[in-house]
Amino acid sequence: MPAIAMRELGGTSGRYYALLAAIGVFVALGLIACVYMETHGHIVTGMDNQIVWGMPHVFAVFLIVAASGALNVASTASVFGRAVYKPLAPLSALLAIALLAGGLSVLVLDLGRPERITVAMTHFNFSSIFAWNIFLYTGFFAIVGIYLWFMLDRTMNRHATRAGLVAFVWRLVLTTGTGSIFGFLVAREAYDSALLAPMFIVFSFAYGTAIFMLTLLAAHRWDERPLAEDLLQRLNRLLALFVAAVLYFVTVFHLTKLYVARFHDIERFVLLDGGVFTALFWLGQVLLGGIVPLLILYHPRLSRSRGWTAFAAAFVVLGGMAQMYVTIIGAQVYPIALFPGMQEASSFFDGEIHTYAPSFPEVLLGFGGFAIAAAIVLIALRVLRLLPERLDTAVRSEA
């Protein structure tokens, strides 16, 4: 396979700084929303003592899960020896770091007291999965950062494959830890399943690959760099495989729940009687985020269109957001079964389905996390040689 020249992101300075400024506006709005919520308290949000994880957590968990999956292309190149993906590995690693930074920024800024993150980083309760995740997240930054360094430094490039293997294992452990946050919550009937850990791994594969494809298409369109149709078809098939796996795991998860009698009520709520949550599940997660992308990616004509490929990837991202909303918010609005088989009622709303409406500051904070990730990627691509100059001759030579 011939050597591929790597270049920074090109384009005129005015055009570049205009895009960076637009992203900066969303970063600033996110910070303003954070200050507003910290100053006035969470009373100005849709969250309360029943719904303690709100819209910011939907954005944050999605970004964290997608960060692991964004490393797919780099892992495919280094761990599985697919040389055709090697020129894209630096972008893959950068995107993984940026998405995790954006997701963790939302989590930290949603604490109510962001400065108390130092407490979480210095006092550990190892019986809590949250304490484990502190090490998993910081370790991910360090390992993927070293991996990116080894890929870019010719003197260290011989170690890149081993670093990629460590990063691959670490990302699986990280996503397992994120999924286990919910799987270990046995008090919530919508969770309480060991299947959530592998499900989140599959979610990460789909969401991270979709975001990677959107970034790659945008970067190559920005500079009008050649991008081989064969490579695009490979990425399409990879994304389609992950989307199909997501639908499979979601089906198995709900069939498993339906097999256990005590989960019938929560399954009926999610699948039939949950109002907006049922609509988001069937129309958002299953249809928009699963079936429609598969139809596009497997269509003989549409799959060869970069525009339709971008639509398919965007639909996967939107479906992922719907899935996170149903998973995180839907599980909280459904009441905890304090006395199984009996009905309970109290002034604390026990036994009642709660309501939640995300406030505007919550949504701004969430988009601020996406903007932080985008800003990191845009700045890094401008100052570092992370993008291949062309991706057409190399693919043909390998084929």
Question: Where is pLDDT greater, at 125 or 255?
Answer: 255
- Please list the residues that pair with 98 across neighbouring strands: none
Per-residue model confidence as pLDDT tens digits over 206-241: 999 999 999 999 998 888 888 888 889 999 999 999
Per-residue model confidence as pLDDT tens digits over 358-381: 999 999 999 999 999 999 999 999
pLDDT value of residue 60: 94
Measured between alpha carbons, how far is residue 342 from residues 262, 263, 330, 350, 351 in Å?
12, 14, 22, 12, 10
Per-residue model confidence as pLDDT tens digits over 157-207: 889 899 999 999 999 999 998 888 887 776 677 887 888 889 999 999 999
Determine which of 127-131, 255-259, 278-282, 289-293 has the lowest per-residue pLDDT on average. 127-131
Judge whether residue 393 has pLDDT over 50: yes
Query: In terms of CATH architecture, what is 6-398?
Result: Up-down Bundle (1.20)
Give the integer Cα–Cα distance in Å for 71 and 148: 11
What residues have CB less than 8 Å from 305, skipping those under 6 apart? none
Give the integer Cα–Cα distance in Å for 340 and 218: 52
Q: Which uninterrupted H or E stretch holds 6?
A: strand 6-7
Give the integer Cα–Cα distance in Å for 295 and 179: 28
Average pLDDT taken over every residue of the chain: 88
Q: Which of 219, 185, 180, 177 is closest to 196 using CA atoms?
A: 180
Per-residue model confidence as pLDDT tens digits over 61-112: 999 999 999 999 999 888 888 888 888 999 999 999 999 999 999 988 776 6
pLDDT value of residue 143: 96
Q: If pLDDT is split at 50, 70 and 90, which confidence band does 397 have?
A: very low
Give the integer Cα–Cα distance in Å for 63 and 365: 13
Judge whether residue 356 has pLDDT over 60: yes
Measured between alpha carbons, how far is residue 114 from residues 46, 155, 184, 250, 373 in Å?
19, 40, 25, 34, 19
Q: If pLDDT is split at 50, 70 and 90, which confidence band does 2 have?
A: low
Residue 37 CA to chain centroid, in angstroms? Answer: 24
pLDDT value of residue 399: 44
Give the integer Cα–Cα distance in Å for 281 and 294: 17
Question: Where is pLDDT greater, at 134 or 305?
Answer: 305
- Please list the residues that pair with 387 across neighbouring strands: 7
Judge whether residue 121 has pLDDT over 60: yes
Q: Which of 15, 204, 13 is closest to 100 using CA atoms?
A: 204
Give the integer Cα–Cα distance in Å for 214 and 92: 12
Per-residue model confidence as pLDDT tens digits over 327-343: 999 888 888 776 666 66
The torsion angles phi and psi of 388, rounded to 5 degrees, stand at -65, 140
**Which residue reads 């979610």 in tokens?**
203
Rounded mean pLDDT, 112-136:
74
Judged by DSSP in three states, 392 sits in: coil
Residue 281 buriedness (CB in 10 A; 0-12 / 13-18 / 19+): buried
pLDDT value of residue 43: 85
Residue ranges covered by each domain of the chain: 6-398
Residue 12: both structure tokens together:
């005129």
